[in-house]
Structure 1
């Protein structure tokens, strides 16, 4: 099924939408930008959220929360006119002057901050993972629904150029009936960087299973629907690393499709980003979407909107049957442009209309249910069945 979200703010098919409601707060008029408070100005906040928010028509980056003086200066330099405050107390003290809170702080803080924002009457977007468990995500979703507030998960990889291309091929039937989906998000980083993302402390919700795994699982569920069973392997391979840095996840979807997903920081020879096999043809695509690299380099979508997310022809994937793409077999498939700006455009539209965010908290909860099952599987060395209300061993 085609579960990629629309850019008009309607929910993805196959997700479980929350109850639409009207915020008890009055939003600005359609001509007045909605004011955004951003919590966190590390990698996620400074590279992804801040530039995408600032570049979205109808949104304005109003306040950035960071206790780091260097990051405060960085935010002020990169976004002239933005307020910088050192803690969330200062942010929530002026809740009446804000229309949206975006949480891009360390994973361990996501649930508490989202709850505080919702209780203050503010719509919220949370960077992935929304929470540590599906139960926590469901609790937040229920709170947002009771308050009539938007609660969305930031899953920007649904707008990667290669994923958008796979989605179209699946939707258009170019592959026939898909039976196997392979997705790899691999890197070669033989030395750990350190920091909370690579901490072995479970409270940090670090490691690749919850980091890049959040993306590849979300993409698989968006394409092919819920997972019935999960098998996973999580390893710590690099000297000095504490959290999983080489992880494999196998899903059997209720639709019958099997997804094999790899996330790794220890891959000396990178495999294809996607290999999708169907009854008529297969599609193979190497390389990564260019948007993250562009954002890290300081480029912005508005610099050249027509060229944003576009990759050269030499990077296109290939579609064929019985040929090897490594020897030029199959036909090149033009890669659709990546479109990270579509995420916050959809959020702005949802806030104006009372609609759903492009990725709902319920969808995030479903992905977390799979990640929890994967952790159980890797620990116990067995396949785990994902049920609606609980995770159980097969």
Structure 2
């Protein structure tokens, strides 16, 4: 057995508590070694063995750390990832990878020059709902896919208690936040589009950041529509796909975040299992016959991402989410903002 990958978290807020610490803790090849907490020191309540630092600079200076997770506000991603790479650490960066394409390109080059792993935490690739959507497409159950619509909606008029999320500056708003998930999911299945149209708006009272967007990604035959709004009380299906042979409709149903927020650790039996009443509807042709059936969503598991990080660092296998993939998401975001401001389709 190899030595554990000693890992440091840049923060222990929502993402640290729910999306990172539990998976690092239960994975036998990782060790949650250090966490930055400026005041509350909540980490030790669940993980009493963890070192607590009050400043992120202490992480770069901790010689024992092999991997650092940058899970701080979006505007810090570039600065903190760069500092960690310069200190010789492998780095996982939360989505969005960076705020600008230029920042992302610099980090990609820096990681390559130092032969360090630089990965982007796109956890929604490991949701049960998305996994079955991807399988339906890749198994050819719809034939040539011609039209898809992905939604990530909320009903939340009030502003976030996290003040940094409501400041009108580059990197805040729904497109950088929720759009990073939808764009990554579309690109992972269909690749980079040829061009983008974006309609990005502010619809909540007193909001200073975008909280509604609709993007249209143009491919040769396919059109992919990505939508999000903070004022959707009655949710539409999260995934609607139409192809030459049939259609697939799927709800947003992954239960991992809800379990994690309750404090359930991801080593429980049948982790991330999807309820049968959330299965997706497939209406298509098989062997010349029309079929209409519900497909099991299976299990979502963010631990698969960390397993991929372990295999990349210890076995030389591919990075589960490359920095270049994270950079492509930012390319689409920048093109969408340009499109929305200029009222035109922007070529990538």
Please state which band the TM-score falls in when normalised by the shorter chain.
over 0.9
Number of the residue aligned with 1:112? 79
- Out of 202, 219, 235, the position equivalent to 2:169 is 202
Equivalences for 1:312-351 in 2 at 5 Å?
A: 312-321=275-284, 330-351=292-313
The reply on whether 1:34 has 2:5 as its aligned counterpart is: yes
The reply on whether 1:276 has 2:241 as its aligned counterpart is: yes
**Shift in Å at residue 238 of structure 1?**
1.1
**Shift in Å at residue 194 of structure 1?**
4.0
Number of the residue aligned with 1:382? 344
5+ residue gaps in structure 2?
Answer: 286-290
Number of the residue aligned with 1:54? 25
**Shift in Å at residue 197 of structure 1?**
5.2
The question of whether the paired residues in 2 share the 8 Å contact of 1:35 and 1:99 is answered with yes
For residues 163-220 of structure 1, what are the alpha-carbon distances to aligned partners after superposition, in whole Å with 9 as ceiling and x for unaligned? 11011111111111111111001111122224345324214x1100000000000000
The reply on whether 1:167 has 2:129 as its aligned counterpart is: no
**Shift in Å at residue 354 of structure 1?**
3.2
For residues 229-262 of structure 1, what are the alpha-carbon distances to aligned partners after superposition, in whole Å with 9 as ceiling and x for unaligned? 1111111111121111111111013x53211011
SS in 2 for 1:81: coil
The question of whether the paired residues in 2 share the 8 Å contact of 1:290 and 1:309 is answered with yes
The reply on whether 1:219 has 2:190 as its aligned counterpart is: no
For residues 68-118 of structure 1, what are the alpha-carbon distances to aligned partners after superposition, in whole Å with 9 as ceiling and x for unaligned? x21x1x111111200000002222222x21110111111111111111111
The reply on whether 1:363 has 2:325 as its aligned counterpart is: yes
The reply on whether 1:139 has 2:106 as its aligned counterpart is: yes
The question of whether the paired residues in 2 share the 8 Å contact of 1:175 and 1:279 is answered with yes
Computed over aligned residues only, the root mean square deviation of the Cα atoms, in angstroms, reads: 1.5
What is the rounded CA distance, in whole Å, between the counterparts of 2:49 and 2:301 in structure 1? 27
**Shift in Å at residue 321 of structure 1?**
4.4
For residues 358-382 of structure 1, what are the alpha-carbon distances to aligned partners after superposition, in whole Å with 9 as ceiling and x for unaligned? 0000011111100000111111221
Q: With CA pairs under 8 Å and 6+ residues apart, which has the higher RCO, 1 or 2?
A: 1
Number of the residue aligned with 1:16? none
Number of the residue aligned with 2:217? 251
Number of the residue aligned with 2:274? 311
For residues 123-177 of structure 1, what are the alpha-carbon distances to aligned partners after superposition, in whole Å with 9 as ceiling and x for unaligned? 0000001101122111101110110000000000001101110111111111111
State how many pairs are aligned. 343
What is the rounded CA distance, in whole Å, between the counterparts of 1:319 and 1:299 in structure 2? 32
SS in 2 for 1:239: coil
**Shift in Å at residue 227 of structure 1?**
1.2
Number of the residue aligned with 1:44? 15
The question of whether the paired residues in 2 share the 8 Å contact of 1:198 and 1:241 is answered with no
The reply on whether 1:82 has 2:43 as its aligned counterpart is: no
SS in 1 for 2:314: helix
Number of the residue aligned with 1:189? 156
**Shift in Å at residue 288 of structure 1?**
2.8
Number of the residue aligned with 1:6? none
What is the rounded CA distance, in whole Å, between the counterparts of 1:280 and 1:185 in structure 2? 26
**Shift in Å at residue 263 of structure 1?**
1.5
The reply on whether 1:233 has 2:199 as its aligned counterpart is: yes
Number of the residue aligned with 1:93? 61
SS in 2 for 1:301: coil
5+ residue gaps in structure 1?
Answer: 1-29, 323-328, 387-394
User: Normalised by the size of structure 2, how large is the TM-score?
Assistant: 0.95
The question of whether the paired residues in 2 share the 8 Å contact of 1:197 and 1:207 is answered with no
User: Normalised by the size of structure 1, how large is the TM-score?
Assistant: 0.84
What is the rounded CA distance, in whole Å, between the counterparts of 2:132 and 2:179 in structure 1? 20
SS in 2 for 1:135: helix
**Shift in Å at residue 303 of structure 1?**
2.0
Equivalences for 1:111-130 in 2 at 5 Å?
A: 111-130=78-97
